[in-house]
Amino acid sequence: MRLKGSGGIYVFQVIDWYIAAITVYVITILECIVIGWIYDLCQQVAAVVEQPVADRLCQLQGTERFYDDLEVMLGNRPSRIFKILWKFITPAILATVLLTTLTQYTLPTYGDYQYPVSAGILGWFIALITALPILIWMLKTLFQAKGSIKERLKQSFQSNANWGPSEKKYVEVTKESHM
């Protein structure tokens, strides 16, 4: 409701300045890293397919697993250029933009209006609070896992038993595509 009033554009500018310039980049970089390097189908597949197929899938890199799932969903595999984009180019560009944004940081402005320092503090708070659920779930997963820190990290990158298609017909299609 604060955005509808006469000062709404000023509130919107603070939200936009911090969420669009910081949080979106951080979350998108993390998504590229997960898809390109971490995406793990191994545990889920091992529960529904024969061991040789599960062993093959456990050796694939993140993008190969993602390609397999996209092929099931879309009917064809994406171009190989996406593998390079997801793993290297997009994260590098996004990290460069984020670092440039952070090193050239100034308080928000709107026209000739220069926001006070308190608006900057509020903006940083908004940016952090929108990304905080990622950190909370990451820490929750690490603390709930058993074993050493290294084992906990390894476990945190694996899918849980509930992950996957909810309808059996899609589980079968997924299983067939991985054979």
Domain ranges of the chain: 8-177
Examine the pLDDT at 117 and tell me if it is beyond 90: yes
pLDDT of residue 67: 82
3-class DSSP assignment, residue 110: strand
Could you tell me what percent of the chain has a pLDDT over 90?
17
Q: pTM for this structure?
A: 0.70
Residue 66's CB is within 10 A of a number of other CB atoms, namely: 20
Question: DSSP code of 114?
Answer: E
Examine the pLDDT at 59 and tell me if it is beyond 90: no
Examine the pLDDT at 34 and tell me if it is beyond 90: no
